[in-house]
């Protein structure tokens, strides 16, 4: 029988939300190595996943690991993405997001790594009142988006004449949980909308809506929510795409428009508690609408967001909250002043 060598994936930021979900799914087919500056994710028990704890800003440590394991694919997820603390941590933000990515590109070139997947974001786009496609104008209006756009440009410029092929994946609002693997969103503190809303409604706390006078169908901001299961499958499909020696940029979203108010109302119906809403001033850096076209990913990656209908997204997130409660695991929810 032919002995087919399992390919090795190196995931940076693999102890975070998306990285640990990806690692648990991908370990069935690949060897997985994680580099993260944070400790091992408490919900990941698989002993076959190798974990190295350090900051990817440390170029020599990074090079040592990449040289030792020569991964077939690097999936670069490590980044700071929480806008709420950006002014407190501006320097480390730029270091992690810009220097870290530059180091990843350098190790790819130095060690002849053939495939790189980079997690970008919806925040790189210029605001537009229509669904965004990959070729639309780019103009981030916050520092997070600016760092991601700088990274995208580095990748395209520095890898243009190299053997490393890349996929830049622009994730929209990733959320919910993987029930089969007992894992879900667990940022500390949690700043993302869906877990915050579910937590507030369950505990009869006030939910702040930042602006209800946007030009959207109900006046609140509109976003594109995508189930984590679909993001993981999109990342895995982009590995197949890279096998064909292609490089490209893809939106990974659900292509559905959902307003903040709709999220609140749907969660409240499922939890069977009325929401307590406080309408506040708009937040700096928020845009009225971010949702995307996904035709390119459907055609080229042969991918579809099969789990991203709102009912499934919300019910899996509620299941996750109940799971944490049963295990008596406390969530650190961030409440803006």
Residues that bind ligand NAD (CB under 6 A): 13, 15-19, 35-38, 55-57, 77-81, 96, 100, 119, 121, 171, 173-174, 187
Inter-residue contact 129 to 289 (CB < 8 Å): yes
Which CB sits closer to ligand NAD, 38 or 70?
38
CB atoms within 10 A of CB 313: 27
Nearer to ligand NAD, 115 or 223 (CB): 223
| For ligand NAD, the closer CB: 244 or 250 | 250
- Total Cβ atoms within 10 A of residue 120: 23
Nearest approach in angstroms of CB 98 to ligand NAD is: 10
Nearer to ligand NAD, 154 or 219 (CB): 154
**CB nearer ligand NAD, residue 182 or residue 273:** 182
Distances (CA, A) of 200 to 5, 204, 206, 294: 48, 6, 6, 32
Unique residue bearing structure tokens 């002993």: 47
- List the one residue out of 332, 188, 206, 178 whose CA is nearest residue 264: 206
Least distance between ligand NAD and beta carbon 177 (Å): 13
Residue nearest to ligand NAD (CB): 16
Q: Which is nearer to ligand NAD, 57 or 212 (CB)?
A: 57
Class of residue 95 by CB neighbours under 10 A (exposed 0-12, middle 13-18, buried 19+): middle
Residue 125 CB coordination number (10 Å): 23
Beta bridge partners of 8: 31
Query: Exposed/middle/buried for 48, CB within 10 Å: 0-12, 13-18, 19+?
Result: exposed
Task: Tell me the closest approach of the beta carbon of residue 22 to ligand NAD, in angstroms.
Answer: 9
Q: Is 191 or 273 the residue whose CB approaches ligand NAD more closely?
A: 191
In eight-state DSSP terms, residue 283 is P
Nearest distance, CB of residue 28 and ligand NAD, angstroms: 20
Least distance between ligand NAD and beta carbon 161 (Å)? 26
C-beta separation of 32 from 14 below 8 A: yes
Pick between residue 151 and residue 288 the one whose CB is nearest to ligand NAD. 151
Which two three-digit tokens encode residue 156? 């395209």
Rounded CA-CA distance 105/113 in Å is: 9
Strand partners, 208: 278
DSSP string for residues in 116-171: EEEEEEGGGBPP-SS-B-TTS-B--SSHHHHHHHHHHHHHHHHTTTSS-EEEEEEE
Taking the least distance from each CB to ligand NAD, the nearer of 269 and 293 is 293
Distant-in-sequence, close-in-space partners of 317: CB < 8 Å, separation ≥ 6:
175, 176, 177, 184, 185, 194, 195, 198
């Amino acid at each position: 029988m032919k002995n087919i060598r399992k390919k090795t994936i190196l995931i940076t930021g693999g102890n975070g939300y998306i990285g640990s979900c990806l690692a648990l799914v991908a370990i069935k087919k690949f060897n997985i190595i994680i580099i993260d500056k944070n400790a091992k994710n408490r919900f990941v028990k698989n002993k076959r996943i190798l974990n190295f704890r350090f900051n990817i800003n440390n170029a020599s440590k990074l090079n040592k690991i990449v040289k030792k394991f020569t991964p077939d694919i690097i999936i670069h997820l490590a980044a700071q993405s929480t806008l709420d603390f950006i002014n407190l941590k501006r320097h480390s933000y730029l270091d992690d997001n810009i220097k870290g990515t530059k180091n990843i590109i350098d190790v790819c070139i130095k060690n002849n790594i053939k495939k790189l997947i980079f997690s970008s974001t919806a925040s790189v786009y210029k605001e537009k009142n229509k669904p965004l496609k990959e070729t639309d104008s780019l103009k981030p209006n916050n520092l997070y988006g600016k760092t991601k756009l700088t990274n995208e440009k580095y990748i395209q410029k520095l890898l243009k004449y190299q053997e490393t092929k890349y996929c830049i994946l622009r994730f929209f609002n990733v959320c919910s949980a993987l029930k089969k693997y007992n894992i879900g969103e667990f940022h500390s503190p949690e700043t993302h909308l869906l877990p915050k809303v579910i937590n507030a409604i369950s505990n009869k706390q006030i939910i702040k809506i930042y602006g209800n006078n946007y030009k959207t169908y109900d006046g609140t901001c509109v976003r594109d929510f995508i189930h984590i299961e679909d993001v993981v499958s999109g990342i895995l499909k982009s590995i197949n795409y890279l096998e064909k020696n292609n490089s490209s940029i893809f939106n990974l979203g659900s292509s559905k428009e959902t307003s903040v108010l709709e999220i609140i109302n749907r969660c409240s119906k499922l939890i069977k508690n009325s929401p307590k809403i406080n309408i506040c001033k708009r937040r700096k850096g928020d845009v009225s609408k971010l949702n995307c076209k996904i035709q390119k990913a459907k055609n080229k990656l042969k991918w579809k967001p099969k789990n991203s209908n709102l009912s499934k997204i919300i019910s899996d997130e509620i299941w996750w909250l109940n799971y944490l409660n049963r295990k008596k695991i406390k969530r650190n929810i961030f409440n803006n002043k």
